[in-house]
C-alpha cells in the first residue's frame, strides 16, 4: 500500500462560485484523511455540458488543455463536479481511442498529451483508493440514524461507452461510502433521474417539475436528507427547494448535502469547516435532532 | 520416372472461351514427367471419364492431373474414376483453371499463360503424392444424448426408433427441460404439457433408451465412433429400481416450504420431491441441503414410511463408463440474470428494473408458470405480492437481448412471439385487464407467426408501444413504468399492477466446461459452434459430435425439434456403416525429428494429437513424441505450420510439395 495518496485537483468553476462549500469541505476532508490535493495551476472551464453540443474540437480541447495542465502535477486527477468528471473522462477516452482527434487537439492546444494519468471522481478516491475499510477507520462520529437518499443524477456514471466508476443504471458507490461512515441509506426510485441541470436558468419550469419529482420520492422513501456529488444537482435541489414547495404547496424540508460534507461530519469536522452554513435548506435542526453536531 | 497424364477440360465454353485449352495441353505435354496430355469438352461427363480410365491403362500412367474446375466441385468424381482404372485415387490432383482463371480473366493470351502455370504447378505437386490407403475406424453403434429437454428427447427417440441404443443423460431429477414448464405454445396455443409429457413417457418406456437422470458428464475420451464417456450419477438417496412412485414420502416429509425451482420459486415443495407431478422418472430425490436427516441426523420419516424400502441415506455418487460412437449435445439454455451484475460476467444486469426487489416484476418463465394449468395458481394470473389479479400488465421485450451496452448483442428469437402469446393468455384469463408491450421490433419470421402477432393486437387488444423502458419503481402497490414511445416521440408512464420481463436466452451455466470436456468449440457467449453456419449446421467441427437446440443459439420449439431430428439423422448416417471410411488427408509425425514439445497438440482444433512413448528393445523410455490419430485428424494443416522442427506434415500438402509448386512458377 502506498503511504500517502496524492492527487492533482480540478475543482471546476462551480466550486469557486456557487458551490464554495463543496470545495471547502473537499479540501478539509482530504486534509483530515491525509490525502494530498494540489490544485491544478491555471485551470479553466472544462466546457461542461454546453461546449460539446456546439463544437466537438472545442470541447475536447478545453478538457485536453486542463488534462495537460494536470499532467504537470503529481498524482491522478481528482474531480468533484459530475459534469467536469464526465467531460474530462470522456475526452481522455476519446483521445486515447482516436489518433486523428488526438493530433488535432494537440495542435489546437499546442502541447503534447501524455494521457497516462487517471481521472477520478472524489467518490472513487474515497471508496476505492482509500478504501471503505480505511474510511470507516477514520470515522469518529458515525452518522447513526441519519437516513440519506443518495442522488446520483445523470452524469456521474455516464456516458455509457466510457469506462465508468460504477454500473450505469444501478450504481451503489454512494451508498457504499455512506454505509461505511455509519449512515442509513434509503431505497428510492428517483436517484438516477435528471434534475434539469443547467436548464435552471433557461427553462426553470422544467427544472421545477423534474426536481419536485425527485424530492417527492426521496421524502416518500423516508429520507431525512439528500446527498449529492454535483454542484448543479445541488443548486436545483437545494436552492430551488423553497420555490418548488411554493409551487406544489408541499413541505419537504430536505437538507441537501454534498458527499464531502456528510463524510466530513462523520470524520469529526466542524460545521464551519464543512460550510454547512452555506446551505439554503437549513440542516442544523436535523443534525441537532440526530445529535450529529 | 513419373508417367503423368494431363486432361484439360473445356467445361463447355466456360474454360475454352478465355483459355486456349489446346495450347495448354500442347505446352504441358512437353513438361518433364508428363507422358500424355489432351483436352476434352466435358471431362466430368461419362465419355470424359471413360477417356480418363482408358488412357490410364493404355498409357500406363502413374499420376493424373485434371485441369478443370475447383476440386471442391469434382475432385471426388475424378479420384473415383482413377480408382476404377486401378490407380490409387490420391495420385490424382485437380488444377483449377476455371474459378481461378477463365472465370476471372478476359485476355485469352494472358489467361492461357496463367492456366499453363497452374497446371505446371499441379504436375510438380502430383509427382510427390504418395499412395494413401483409405483410413477405416470401427463404429460403436450406440449414441450419447446430453440433455433431456425437447431437443434431447427428440434426438434420443429418433435414434432409438432407428434401432440403435441411446444413453440419455439429464442433469436434473426429471427430463422435460424448459418445455415442460411452459403453459401454452405459439403459434397454435396448444398445451405444452399435453404435447410434451407423452414424449417423456416414450423415453422412459423405449427399450433402446437408457435414461440417466440426475446425472452429469464427468469425462469424455476417444474419438468418432469410439468415445468412452464417464457419467456421474449423483446420489438421489432413493433407489430408482425399488421406488414405485407412490409419493407417500413426499406427503410425510415435515419440510414443506422449499421454493420449487420448477415453479420459478412461486410454489413450494418438500425436501424429498419430484419437481412436477408428470416427472420422468417418477422417482423422488432428496434435497440434501434442506433435509432434516442430512442436516441434523434426526427425522428419517421418509425411510420409515417407504413401503418398498427405496429410501437410502447412504447412497453415494457413482461413476459409470459408457462406450458410444456418437454424441448429441442438447443442453439448452438459461434465462438472463436480470438482477445485479453477475460476478465475473461480461453481462451487466438490470438493477434499474428492480427484479428481485419488486415482487410483481417477474420474468417470462414465471408468467408461464402462472398461466399454466398445472402451475402454483392453477392457471390464474395473480400477483406474487398479494395474490390479486393484475388489471394493468406491462410486458417489456429485449431484456438483455440486442443490448450491446448490457453485454449481449444477439436477438433471443423467441421473445417477440412468446410475449404476443402472453398478452393473449392474459386477455383470455383477465377479461377486463389491459396489456401493454414495450418493444423495439416485432420479429415474427416463422410459419403462421406474423398472423399470430397481429392477432394479439387486433383481436386480443394488446397495446404495443415502440420504445424501451428506462426504469421501474414501486409506488404504493403499483409499479411505475417509465418508458418512451418513439413512434409519437413522447415519454410514457404507466402505473402497472404487474410487469413481465422478456429476458434473453443464454447458454446453460457451465456450458463452457462441458465443451472443454467434449473438445468442441463455443463462441464468446458460450453457445456451441457448428462446423459451418449454413452447410453443416448440426455438426461440430469435432467429428462424431452433433448439436441440437438452444445450446447452439436461441431457438423456438419447431426449430429445436427440426435440429434434433437432423442431428439424429446424422448419427444414423454414421451408424449406417460398420466401419468408418475417411479421406486419408491427415497429418503424419516424423518421429525421428519430433522433440515432443507438443506445440501441435496445443493448436489442434480436433484434439487429434496424442502422446506416444518411444522405447528401446529393453523397454527403456527414449522419448515421448506426438502421434496424430488418423481417425480424429481434420486435415487442416495447422500443426504443420506450427511445428518448430518441421516434423509433422499433412499428406498431399507437404512442405516439399508446396516448394515444388512454387518453383514451377
Residue B262 lies in a domain: yes
Same domain membership, residue B566 and residue B591:
no
- Record: contact B474-A160, CB cut-off 8 A: no
Same domain membership, residue B376 and residue B485:
yes
Same domain membership, residue B242 and residue B101:
no
Residue B649 lies in a domain: yes
**pLDDT of res. B417:** 97
Last residue of a domain, one of B104, B127, B150: B127
3-class state of residue B426 by DSSP: helix
Q: What is the mean pLDDT of residues B442-463?
A: 96
The total of structural domains in chain B comes to 5
Residue A78, strand partner residues: A9, A120
Same domain membership, residue A192 and residue A67:
no
Residue B229 lies in a domain: yes
CB neighbourhood size of A36 (10 A) = 15
Q: Among A191, A196, A194, A201, which residue's Cα sits nearest to residue A171?
A: A191
- Record: contact B405-A168, CB cut-off 8 A: yes
Residues B389 and B377: their CA atoms lie apart, in Å, by: 11
B69 or A166: which leads in pLDDT: B69
Q: Measured between CA atoms, how close is B482 to chain A, in angstroms?
A: 11
Does A52 score more than 90 pLDDT?
no
Residue A127 lies in a domain: no
Among B341, B357, B473, whose Cβ lies nearest the Cβ of A167? B341
- Record: contact A167-B357, CB cut-off 8 A: no
Q: Among B420, B431, B501, B426, which residue's Cα sits nearest to residue B454?
A: B420
Residues B361 and B588: their CA atoms lie apart, in Å, by: 60
Among B351, B405, B480, whose Cβ lies nearest the Cβ of A170? B351
Residue B559 lies in a domain: yes
Last residue of a domain, one of A121, A155, A170: A121
Residue A278 lies in a domain: yes
Residue A148, strand partner residues: A185, A225
Same domain membership, residue B249 and residue B197:
no
Same domain membership, residue A225 and residue A136:
yes
Residues B245 and B151: their CA atoms lie apart, in Å, by: 26
The total of structural domains in chain A comes to 2
Same domain membership, residue A203 and residue A248:
yes
Q: Residue B136 — very low, low, confident or very high, per pLDDT cuts 50/70/90?
A: confident
- Record: contact B473-A189, CB cut-off 8 A: yes
Residue A217 lies in a domain: yes
Residues of B with CB under 8 A from a CB of A: 340-341, 348-352, 357, 405, 471, 473-475, 480
Same domain membership, residue A157 and residue A90:
no
Buried (b) or exposed (e) across B72-102, using 16+ Cβ within 10 A? Answer: eebbebbbebbbebebbbbbbbbbbbbeebb
Residues A198 and B208: their CA atoms lie apart, in Å, by: 74
Question: Do the beta carbons of residue B275 and residue B375 sit within 8 Å?
Answer: no
Does A141 score more than 70 pLDDT?
yes
- Record: contact A168-B350, CB cut-off 8 A: no
Residue A1 lies in a domain: no
Per-residue pLDDT reduced to its tens digit, B513-557 = 999 999 999 999 999 999 888 888 999 988 899 999 999 999 999
Buried (b) or exposed (e) across A1-17, using 16+ Cβ within 10 A? Answer: eeeebebbbbbbbbbee
Residues spanned by the domain of A194? 132-289
Same domain membership, residue A99 and residue A67:
yes
Among B341, B405, B473, whose Cβ lies nearest the Cβ of A160? B405
Q: Among B344, B329, B339, which residue's Cα sits nearest to residue B361?
A: B339
- Record: contact A167-B349, CB cut-off 8 A: yes
Q: Which residues of A touch B340 (CB under 8 A)?
A: 170
Same domain membership, residue B250 and residue B371:
no
Q: Measured between CA atoms, how close is A139 to chain B, in angstroms?
A: 29
Residues spanned by the domain of B480? 338-506
- Record: contact A169-B473, CB cut-off 8 A: no
Same domain membership, residue A158 and residue A281:
yes
Q: Among B559, B641, B640, B646, which residue's Cα sits nearest to residue B154?
A: B559
Same domain membership, residue B359 and residue B253:
no
CATH number for A88: 1.20.1050.140
Residue A99 lies in a domain: yes
Same domain membership, residue A99 and residue A201:
no
**Which backbone phi and psi does B416 adopt, to 5 degrees?**
-55, -45
Buried (b) or exposed (e) across A82-115, using 16+ Cβ within 10 A? Answer: bbbbbbbbbbbbbbeeeeebbebbbeebeeebeb
Could you tell me the strand order of the sheet in which A36-39 lies? A36-39, A6-10, A76-79, A119-121
Residue A12 lies in a domain: yes
Same domain membership, residue B565 and residue B500:
no
**pLDDT of res. B15:** 97
Same domain membership, residue A139 and residue A25:
no
Residue B597, Cβ density class (10 Å: 0-12 exposed, 13-18 middle, ≥19 buried): middle
**pLDDT of res. A34:** 95
Does B435 score more than 70 pLDDT?
yes
3-class state of residue B177 by DSSP: coil
Last residue of a domain, one of A92, A121, A150: A121
Same domain membership, residue B496 and residue B357:
yes
B595: CB partners within 8 A, 6+ apart: B623, B645, B647
Question: Do the beta carbons of residue A215 and residue A241 sit within 8 Å?
Answer: yes
**Which backbone phi and psi does A16 adopt, to 5 degrees?**
-95, 5
Last residue of a domain, one of B544, B576, B608: B576
Q: Residue A206 — very low, low, confident or very high, per pLDDT cuts 50/70/90?
A: very high
Same domain membership, residue A116 and residue A25:
yes
Same domain membership, residue A249 and residue A147:
yes
Last residue of a domain, one of A121, A146, A162: A121
Find the angle CA(A263)-CA(A268)-CA(A270) to the nearest 5 degrees.
95
Q: Measured between CA atoms, how close is B495 to chain A, in angstroms?
A: 14
Same domain membership, residue B292 and residue B155:
no
| % of chain B at pLDDT higher than 90 | 88
- Record: contact A189-B350, CB cut-off 8 A: no
Per-residue pLDDT reduced to its tens digit, A143-198 = 999 999 999 998 888 887 787 788 888 899 999 999 999 999 999 989 999 998 87
Residue A166 lies in a domain: yes
Per-residue pLDDT reduced to its tens digit, A97-107 = 999 999 999 99
CATH number for A272: 3.40.50.11810
Residues B559 and B549: their CA atoms lie apart, in Å, by: 7
Residue B517 lies in a domain: no
Question: Do the beta carbons of residue B153 and residue B192 sit within 8 Å?
Answer: no
Grid cell listed for B317: 455418487
Does A2 score more than 60 pLDDT?
no
* Element at B40 (helix H, strand E): strand B34-40
- Record: contact A167-B348, CB cut-off 8 A: yes
Residue A224 lies in a domain: yes
Residue B250 lies in a domain: yes
Residue B410 lies in a domain: yes
Residue B515 lies in a domain: no
- Record: contact A168-B348, CB cut-off 8 A: yes
Which chain B residue's Cα is nearest to A171? B351
For the entire predicted model, the pTM comes to 0.78
CATH number for B9: 3.40.50
Does A1 score more than 50 pLDDT?
no
Q: Measured between CA atoms, how close is B407 to chain A, in angstroms?
A: 12
Interface test with A, best of B409, B471, B495, B496 (most A CBs within 10 A): B471
Which chain A residue's Cα is nearest to B474? A189
Most distant CA atoms of chain A, gap in Å: 58
Same domain membership, residue B540 and residue B474:
no
Does B345 score more than 80 pLDDT?
no
Q: Measured between CA atoms, how close is B397 to chain A, in angstroms?
A: 18
Same domain membership, residue B221 and residue B364:
no
Same domain membership, residue B161 and residue B90:
no
Q: Measured between CA atoms, how close is B342 to chain A, in angstroms?
A: 12
- Record: contact B349-A161, CB cut-off 8 A: no
CATH number for B198: 3.50.50.60
Amino acid at each position: 500500500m502506498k503511504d500517502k495518496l496524492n492527487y492533482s485537483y480540478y475543482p471546476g468553476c462551480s466550486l469557486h462560485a456557487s458551490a464554495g462549500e463543496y470545495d471547502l469541505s473537499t479540501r478539509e476532508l482530504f486534509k483530515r484523511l491525509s490525502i494530498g490535493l494540489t490544485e491544478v495551476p491555471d485551470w479553466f472551464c472544462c466546457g461542461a455540458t454546453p461546449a460539446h453540443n456546439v463544437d466537438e474540437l472545442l470541447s475536447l480541447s478545453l478538457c485536453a488543455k486542463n488534462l495537460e495542465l494536470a499532467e504537470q502535477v503529481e498524482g491522478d486527477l481528482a474531480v468533484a463536479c459530475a459534469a467536469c468528471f464526465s467531460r474530462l473522462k470522456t475526452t481522455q477516452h476519446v483521445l486515447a481511442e482516436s489518433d486523428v482527434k488526438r493530433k488535432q487537439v494537440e495542435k489546437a492546444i499546442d502541447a503534447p498529451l501524455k494521457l497516462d494519468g487517471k481521472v477520478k471522481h472524489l467518490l472513487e478516491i474515497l471508496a476505492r483508493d482509500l478504501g471503505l475499510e480505511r474510511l470507516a477507520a477514520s470515522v469518529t462520529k458515525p452518522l447513526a440514524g441519519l437516513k440519506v437518499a443518495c442522488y446520483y443524477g445523470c452524469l456521474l456514471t455516464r456516458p455509457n461507452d466510457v469506462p465508468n466508476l460504477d454500473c450505469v443504471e444501478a450504481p451503489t458507490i454512494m451508498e457504499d461510502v455512506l454505509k461505511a461512515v455509519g449512515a442509513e441509506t434509503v431505497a428510492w426510485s428517483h436517484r438516477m433521474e435528471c434534475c434539469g441541470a443547467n436548464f435552471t436558468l433557461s427553462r426553470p419550469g422544467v427544472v421545477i417539475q423534474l426536481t419536485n419529482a425527485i424530492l417527492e420520492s426521496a421524502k416518500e422513501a423516508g429520507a431525512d436528507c439528500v446527498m449529492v456529488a454535483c454542484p448543479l444537482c445541488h443548486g436545483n435541489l437545494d436552492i430551488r427547494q423553497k420555490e418548488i414547495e411554493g409551487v406544489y404547496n408541499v413541505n419537504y424540508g430536505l437538507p441537501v448535502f454534498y458527499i464531502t460534507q456528510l463524510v466530513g461530519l462523520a470524520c469529526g469536522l466542524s460545521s464551519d469547516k464543512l460550510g454547512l452554513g452555506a446551505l439554503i435548506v437549513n440542516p442544523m435542526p436535523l443534525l441537532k435532532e440526530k445529535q450529529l453536531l | 520416372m513419373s508417367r503423368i497424364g494431363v486432361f484439360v477440360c473445356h467445361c463447355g465454353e466456360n474454360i475454352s472461351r478465355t483459355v486456349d485449352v489446346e495450347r495448354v495441353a500442347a505446352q504441358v505435354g512437353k513438361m518433364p514427367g508428363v507422358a500424355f496430355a489432351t483436352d476434352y469438352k466435358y471431362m466430368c461427363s461419362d465419355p470424359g471419364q471413360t477417356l480418363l480410365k482408358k488412357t490410364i491403362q493404355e498409357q500406363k500412367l502413374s499420376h493424373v492431373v485434371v485441369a478443370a474446375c475447383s476440386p471442391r466441385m469434382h475432385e471426388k468424381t475424378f479420384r473415383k474414376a482413377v480408382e476404377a482404372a486401378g490407380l490409387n485415387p490420391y495420385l490424382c490432383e485437380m488444377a483449377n483453371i476455371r474459378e481461378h482463371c477463365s472465370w476471372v480473366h478476359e485476355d485469352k493470351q494472358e489467361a492461357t499463360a496463367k492456366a499453363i502455370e497452374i497446371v505446371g504447378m499441379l504436375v510438380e505437386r502430383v509427382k510427390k503424392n504418395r499412395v494413401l490407403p483409405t483410413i477405416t475406424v470401427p463404429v460403436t453403434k450406440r449414441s450419447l444424448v446430453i440433455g433431456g429437454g425437447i431437443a434431447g428427447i427428440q434426438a434420443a427417440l429418433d435414434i432409438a426408433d432407428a434401432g440403435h441404443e441411446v444413453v440419455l443423460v439429464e442433469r436434473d431429477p426429471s427430463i422435460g427441460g424448459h418445455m415442460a414448464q411452459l403453459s401454452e405454445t405459439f403459434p397454435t396455443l396448444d398445451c405444452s404439457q399435453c404435447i410434451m409429457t407423452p414424449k417423456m413417457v416414450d423415453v422412459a418406456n423405449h427399450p433402446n433408451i437408457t435414461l440417466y437422470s440426475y446425472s452429469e458428464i464427468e469425462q469424455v475420451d476417444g474419438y468418432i465412433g469410439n468415445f468412452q464417456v464417464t457419467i456421474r450419477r449423483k446420489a438421489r438417496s432413493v433407489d430408482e429400481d425399488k421406488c414405485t412412485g407412490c409419493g407417500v414420502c413426499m406427503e410425510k416429509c415435515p419440510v414443506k416450504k422449499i421454493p420449487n425451482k420448477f415453479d420459478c420459486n412461486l410454489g413450494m415443495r418438500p425436501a424429498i420431491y419430484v419437481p412436477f407431478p408428470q416427472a420422468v422418472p417418477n422417482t423422488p430425490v432428496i434435497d440434501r441441503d434442506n433435509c432434516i436427516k442430512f442436516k441434523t441426523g434426526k427425522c428419517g420419516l421418509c425411510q420409515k414410511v417407504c413401503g418398498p424400502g427405496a429410501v437410502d441415506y447412504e447412497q453415494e455418487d457413482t461413476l459409470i463408463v459408457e462406450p458410444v460412437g456418437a454424441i448429441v449435445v442438447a443442453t439448452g439454455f438459461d434465462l438472463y440474470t436480470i438482477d445485479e451484475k453477475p460476478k465475473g460476467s461480461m453481462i451487466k444486469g438490470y438493477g434499474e428494473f428492480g427484479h428481485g426487489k419488486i415482487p410483481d416484476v417477474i420474468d417470462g418463465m414465471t408468467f408461464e408458470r402462472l398461466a399454466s394449468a398445472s402451475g402454483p395458481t392453477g392457471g390464474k394470473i395473480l400477483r406474487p405480492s398479494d395474490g390479486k389479479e393484475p388489471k394493468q400488465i406491462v410486458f417489456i421485450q429485449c431484456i438483455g437481448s440486442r443490448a450491446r451496452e448490457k453485454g449481449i448483442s444477439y436477438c433471443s428469437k423467441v421473445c417477440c412471439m412468446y410475449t404476443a402469446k402472453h398478452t393473449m393468455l392474459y386477455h383470455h384469463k383477465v377479461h377486463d385487464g389491459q396489456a401493454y408491450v414495450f418493444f423495439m421490433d416485432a420479429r415474427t419470421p416463422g410459419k403462421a407467426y406474423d398472423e399470430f402477432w397481429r392477432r394479439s393486437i387486433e383481436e386480443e387488444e394488446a397495446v404495443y408501444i415502440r420504445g424501451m423502458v428506462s426504469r421501474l419503481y414501486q409506488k404504493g402497490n403499483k409499479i411505475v413504468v417509465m418508458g418512451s414511445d418513439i413512434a409519437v416521440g413522447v415519454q410514457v408512464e404507466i402505473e402497472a399492477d404487474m410487469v413481465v420481463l422478456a429476458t434473453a436466452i443464454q447458454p446453460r451455466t457451465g456450458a463452457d466446461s462441458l465443451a472443454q470436456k467434449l473438445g468442441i468449440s463455443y463462441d464468446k457467449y458460450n453457445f456451441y459452434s457448428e462446423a459451418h453456419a449454413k452447410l453443416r449446421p448440426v455438426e461440430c467441427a469435432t467429428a462424431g459430435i452433433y448439436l441440437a437446440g438452444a445450446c447452439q443459439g436461441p431457438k423456438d420449439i419447431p426449430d429445436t425439434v427440426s435440429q434434433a431430428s437432423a442431428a439424429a439423422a446424422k448419427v444414423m448416417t454414421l451408424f449406417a456403416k460398420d466401419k468408418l471410411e475417411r479421406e486419408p488427408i491427415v497429418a503424419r509425425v516424423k518421429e525421428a525429428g519430433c522433440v515432443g514439445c507438443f506445440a501441435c497438440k496445443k493448436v489442434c482444433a480436433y484434439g487429434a494429437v496424442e502422446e506416444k512413448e518411444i522405447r528401446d528393445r529393453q523397454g527403456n523410455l527414449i522419448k515421448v513424441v506426438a502421434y496424430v490419430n488418423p481417425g480424429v485428424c481434420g486435415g487442416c494443416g495447422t500443426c504443420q505450420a506450427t511445428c518448430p522442427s518441421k516434423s509433422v506434415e499433412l499428406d498431399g500438402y507437404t512442405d516439399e510439395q508446396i516448394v515444388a509448386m512454387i518453383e514451377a512458377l
